[in-house]
Structure 1
């Protein structure tokens, strides 16, 4: 075996995807740092920018050493810092926190698909950076009172086992039966899905206000309505069990209609959030024991998938979707 074997298709694919994601985050951070009016928030984002930029350089160097073309990703052409604020102060850190949540899932998965030590180390470093800044963002928002904690509950005084299949309840057994109260695992996933959809709704509302192309503006407006319907449905489900659903304060879109980001970048960001939403809904479905909850989640997943597919068509139509590195077309090579 050579001292440093060539990178595999899995490693190339994960590095390519990470380059896309990180260059998008860098462009958005450039705008949020420029518009930040809170020094602590600005410091968090500035330090994060420097660490991500270093990792992007490592990915670029790795690809260059392999003789691979460097992706286009997102460049200075995709951001305009000299425009009015699109969101109230506080959204920047809410948004970064959600991006770090997405990144945690991606980097953990990417490590399992890497073999070469230097590439494993890239994703290990990115995981550490992500966990660090996720915590910094969470503590900042809690200190500012901008995000509510999930609901509190009385501590259990004894261990119980499920004695009857009626515990599964919901539509699959008897649609007219009274549903049991949610358990804490179910509340955790419902609250989390609700929280991420609220931030997503705020984000995409701003995108809808400032998008340049009419079809893109319409697409974002549809996404805001989809997120709103999911938040409404989840809030009602929680309230049926007497669980309050407080919303985060701040972070709303301003009245600005001037785009800080290109339509291309905003479409990709929305696509990334849709992928994360599909994964989160799948996880919530897997850990829900009340039968009506997976049924709701399946509907959310179907609607989100269809919405994401519509977005992909718009991106392809406008030449905004960069093609991932392809495997060799063996039949074409042979026929040639």
Structure 2
């Protein structure tokens, strides 16, 4: 992919490649467990397509690191997935999980592309964005056809252009009357946050059942409760407008207590999703014109931040957190 006359990759390109390596090697371990138990032929095809693309991505990053004479990260290996274990998640959870991850990847790799300066690295992340978009489309269509992906609510189409005439439009807290109903931008952000959180909540249930480390198990139970709180708080906004929050009968954790994944990888996955949850909350709050919604998003975001921080501390204590490449410390030169 690279040639000897290309410039050295920048710090941002190095960091983004390193993060991609971690995420993709983690995803491959999940897909290995899912593929072991996938019975539906269409599901197998989607999972296999994602697995092959992830494998190619990891091989490309290794090649870049070797040409740059950089050490190859550890990431997550075959030691982080246990073959022959019972299925941890039930009906259609595997494409639901991949739907969530590909949604995250589309945004992540598009961002990484804009942070890249060398042409081949930009092209690499552009291709990853396209690959993830294809997987997302496949998962979305498949889940919609199965009837397990809740569509956002339908609303009446606008017949004329309107302009805001009253500053109370921005207020979510009014003493004498109800706040205005949600607009479609606010509704879409809340729906998206709940939809993603439901998939994450079942992940926490499964992790809590199978974790071997006692501290990790308690942490995943805390994640279950936090996910429920997020769904409840955001769902209240929809219910006040007589809209039912998204829900699905599929994708539940089984009753298995045998861990298919290492505690290290389950903690990393939880930390990764919590971090993206923070970004989603910030985005939802930023696009809302009702003052109560950003306030709620910020309060939930603080709890998610503290939860993610606690997970990082557990990983460090256990020796499970791989350190990203470090900037040279030149501060001692000033002393």
Q: CA deviation at 1:177?
A: 3.3
- C-alpha change, 1:197 and 1:260, in structure 2 (3 Å) is same
Equivalent position of 2:64 in the other structure: 62
RMSD after superposition? 1.3
Equivalent position of 1:241 in the other structure: 241
Does the 8 Å CA contact 2:194/2:246 hold for their aligned counterparts?
Answer: no
Equivalent position of 2:143 in the other structure: 141
Equivalent position of 1:118 in the other structure: 120
Equivalent position of 2:76 in the other structure: 74
- C-alpha change, 1:176 and 1:319, in structure 2 (3 Å) is farther
Equivalent position of 1:31 in the other structure: 33
1:291-317 CA deviation, whole Å, 9 max, x = no partner? 111111011100000000000000000
- C-alpha change, 1:232 and 1:334, in structure 2 (3 Å) is closer
5+ residue gaps, structure 1: none
Equivalent position of 1:10 in the other structure: 12
Between Structure 1 and Structure 2, how many residues are aligned? 332
Equivalent position of 1:94 in the other structure: 96
1:137-181 CA deviation, whole Å, 9 max, x = no partner? 00000001111100000111111100000111213xx35531111
Equivalent position of 1:131 in the other structure: 133
* Cα distance in structure 2, aligned partners of 1:296 and 1:218: 26
TM-score, reference length from structure 1: 0.96
- C-alpha change, 1:66 and 1:334, in structure 2 (3 Å) is farther
Equivalent position of 1:51 in the other structure: 53
* Cα distance in structure 2, aligned partners of 1:127 and 1:156: 33
5+ residue gaps, structure 2: none
* Cα distance in structure 2, aligned partners of 1:242 and 1:160: 23
* Cα distance in structure 2, aligned partners of 1:331 and 1:230: 42
Moved over 4 A (4+): 332-335
Equivalent position of 1:210 in the other structure: 210
* Cα distance in structure 1, aligned partners of 2:177 and 2:305: 31
Q: CA deviation at 1:331?
A: 3.8
Does the 8 Å CA contact 2:195/2:246 hold for their aligned counterparts?
Answer: no
Q: CA deviation at 1:333?
A: 7.1
- C-alpha change, 1:333 and 1:34, in structure 2 (3 Å) is farther
Alignment partner of 2:86 out of 75, 84, 99: 84
* Range 246-255 or range 184-193, more displaced: 246-255
* Cα distance in structure 1, aligned partners of 2:333 and 2:192: 49
Does the 8 Å CA contact 1:170/1:177 hold for their aligned counterparts?
Answer: no
1:80-135 CA deviation, whole Å, 9 max, x = no partner? 12100111020000000100111111101111111111111211111110000000
